[in-house]
Chain A
Amino acid sequence: MEQSALIWLSLIVFLPALGALALVAIPSDKPDVIKLFSLGVTVAVFLATCVVAFGGATDTAHFEKGVAEMQDAFSLPWIKSFNIYYFMGMDGISFTLVMLTAFVTMLSMGASWSIDRHVKAYCILFLLLETGMLGVFLALDFFLFYVFWEVMLLPMYFLIGVWGGPRREYAAIKFFLYTLLGSVFMLIAILILYFNSDLRELSADQLVAAHVVDGVDAAEAIRSEPKAQHTFNILALSTMGQHTQLFDDELFLGKSLQWWAFLLLLIGFIIKVPAVPVHTWLPDAHVEAPTPISMILAGVLLKMGGYGIIRICYPICPDAAFDLAWLVTSIGVVSMLYGAFAALAQKDFKRLVAYSSVSHMGYVMLGIGVWSATAGNNYNPEYWQMGMNGAMFQMIAHGISSPGMFFMVGVIYERVHHRNLDEFGGLFAKSPVYSGIAFGIFFAGLGLPGLCGFIGEVFVTLSVWNYSHVLAVLSAATVILTAGYILWTLQRVYLGPEYKGPHGDHITPINGRELAIAAPLLALAILFGVYPRAIFDYMTPSVNKEVEDLAGWTRATKESRLLEQRVELDRRRGIENDPLIGEE
């Protein structure tokens, strides 16, 4: 089993990179061959993920529905002197995102046919980008994760900087600088966690469960080592975060090690999400990037932030996550509101869609942050499960609707060469099929019941009520704002008597290639809206397990710590043996 996992997961991740290598050999004066080849590679990667999802043959890796634990995990030593492993695997959280990545990348390669400058370089960078993205979702070694995370930066920089719009260089360097700053913080946190980790603190069963070693004997050998055994294994670090005191030492300013690590990691991830106030790279990057790259940015790259928070921040630093839940949820709600208001004010069609992404990704932050499993409802993790599932679903739904919206903008931009909202209107009459699809996809973004956007939003909003009434009201209000800017946009662009803007005679009906890209997105938006279990069945067990683990940790560990804090508070006030511990 491990052998086939090694082969298939490595294949999925590195097939694009191999494709990029092969592209070097194709002469650059044959752009169509290059594009077809690249499309073939992305299709092959998507098919490989499909085989893993639906295949079930014994000699391939297979993703089993309904299993919460890591599946198809394998681990090979890579850099032994630092305990770095080539360690990959997938569970419901990562696998759905891998499917999404392969799917969106395939479609956006299809959308790349309009690229006509330096096609070879474009395709090479595009494929390298895909390797980086898939690697991030599959890596379970923190170092490996970081390497993939950084590997994406450079191709993205060039894809925006060379093939982008008029202010492309500014947008590209801004994107690079923001993300690099975040990843530097992440690197610091990784190192802090690494040097404070110790595998000997885990039991033999935990070591085996975290795929550190294969058997109990080897685990015992690790446990009897004389020196501290550091690790980059994300699963082992999570176990340490939840079952040991390793990350609780004070680091700086009276805050614990994991508090700082959480904050540093959170900064790195929310830059990618992006959340207010570090979102400003996104509108620039989106507006300047070519359409396919915007699709990738919105569809996949933004999800890495959310994925990082779910996979890394929360399980490894639960204590800090509990204490800072207010920060995560507030950032989420502020992003939702700010993004929605900013979208309302935009004149540029693409910028509007970009701000809608900021707003929609705010739901993800909010859903993740709802730590409802606090005292008061008897540590019942039900609401938090709902919020976390909603956040995950929102990521997938946004990964479908947002690339669709960017593609719709791109289709019309290629024809009329402007994106000024005030100069559109009347497109429905000129190009009904295109407008119909656009309506569907924008409604999905709006969160209309029956389309994919609805499920995630409603799950998150419902779950918040038990956490904070204020945030719940605000997040519900955002739904109205979202409806406002999307309906207004549709009205300004597609409705109205006739098109009066420039290049009116260039507006041709949507062509077959464009239809082939837009239609699957709309179909999935409808499918996931009507039958959300198509996604939930894959991810719910893993999400629920993580939430239950953390809720269990709250009950077992955090409760007594809170109690200690209150007793300490009382003692400082001079009250002893007061039944109302910690109350005024």
Chain B
Amino acid sequence: MIPAAFDYVRAGSLDEALKLLSKHGDDAKLLAGGHSLLPAMKLRLAQPKVLIDIGRLSELNYIREEGGKIAIGPLTTHFEIESSSLLRDKCPLLPEVAGHIGDVQVRNRGTIGGSIVHADPAADWPAAILALDAEMEVAGPKGRRTIPASSFFVDMLQSAVQPGEILSAIRVLTTPKTVAYEKFAQKASGFAICGVAVVVEAGAARIGITGVSGKAYRATAAESTLRGKFSASLIPGASQKAAQGVDALSDIHASAEYRSHLAGVLTRRALERALARA
């Protein structure tokens, strides 16, 4: 459990971090909360030559209202989101999801930005990012660009953030209280075998599902069953489509069949709970 040797540099600003990234290229990894990277390094599954520590960049750690949206700095910890009164009031899905991540120590160190850029297929945040239809802003050598949630999660452990880029902001719209997150955790790791985040508004639902397949996805078949005619009686039927067309994962913790089944069960439960909050 001893990592291979590496150099460590601490960036004093986002600009400096970008310069360091371009200088070190593929040899470098960004260190934020370190909760995915450091365990991989201890097992020597990751052996970066340089760690660029961005963990103390206060310019990337905030939760604030910005032009009708809520902007969240990527270095905001899970606990800061869990305990944010602004989010509880205006985007309650995020604090609810945060409470399902790891344990208190993990939530105190791990960051939302580190998690979503890592794009672990069983992480909790991707379900919420999709259900909220969030947008991600990344900073790179050529300036800033915005990536919608729908194209952010590219593949297993691969997000749309390119080499040389750093996630600089996450923006979400405010939602009503009719949201919910249902999770069935893998017993050992606590990661999601299936996690379903839902936002019910304007007679429709957005459903983000994590853990089931190689990347988190929107349950579009289930959503379209409900669109414009959302009602409690339609929930069971819609939920059955939660894994429709999805290539589910199978491993020692759960078969593809069980994951797909859970997607249906948890979608139903999440929708029912969200509706009950209306």
A and B interact physically: no
